[in-house]
Amino acid sequence: MSRRQWALAALVVAGLMMATSLASAAPAEGATAPAEGGGFSKTVGLALAAAFVAGVSIAAAGYAVGRVGSAAIGAVAEKPELMGRTILFVALAEGLGVLGFALAIVMLYAL
């Protein structure tokens, strides 16, 4: 793997760790939150984590679709019967961006 791929993987892991730490810091359903106890910082932190997770996953999906799509076009040019399989691979790469966006929406509803 290149340095760019390692850096992207590290950013994804850091974003997921940030998201899980913020989600686990939320009070339980029946618990009473302390008055004036970090409401603004929690909101800003959760919003930043959601933006980071969505941005990194969508950027990674764009990168993956670019790489897989160009390889798929080359494969279909040589063997047209591979069209169905290549569409499946491109759709799997695109699913990464959709899942990242969905995770960001779920995180924002935790506000």
Residue 61: which CATH number? 1.20.20
Check pLDDT > 80 for residue 27: no
The region of weakest confidence among 8-17, 48-57, 78-87 is 8-17
Would you give the DSSP letter of residue 26?
S
In a domain, 54, yes or no: yes
Run of H or E including 89: helix 83-109
Cβ contact 18:52 at 8 Å: yes
Q: Is residue 70 part of a domain?
A: yes
Q: Does residue 13 have a pLDDT over 60?
A: yes
- State the Cα–Cα distance between residues 97 and 40, nearest whole angstrom: 28
Domain annotation covers residue 34:
no
Judge whether 73 lies within some domain: yes
Domain that holds residue 81: 3-24+39-109
What is the tens place of the pLDDT at every residue in 60-109?
Answer: 898 999 999 999 999 999 999 999 999 999 999 888 889 988 988 888 88
Whether 29 is covered by a domain: the verdict is no
Angle in degrees, CA 10, 62, 24, rounded to 5? 45
With respect to residue 68, please indicate whether it lies within any of the assigned structural domains.
yes
In a domain, 64, yes or no: yes
Number of structural domains found in the chain: 1
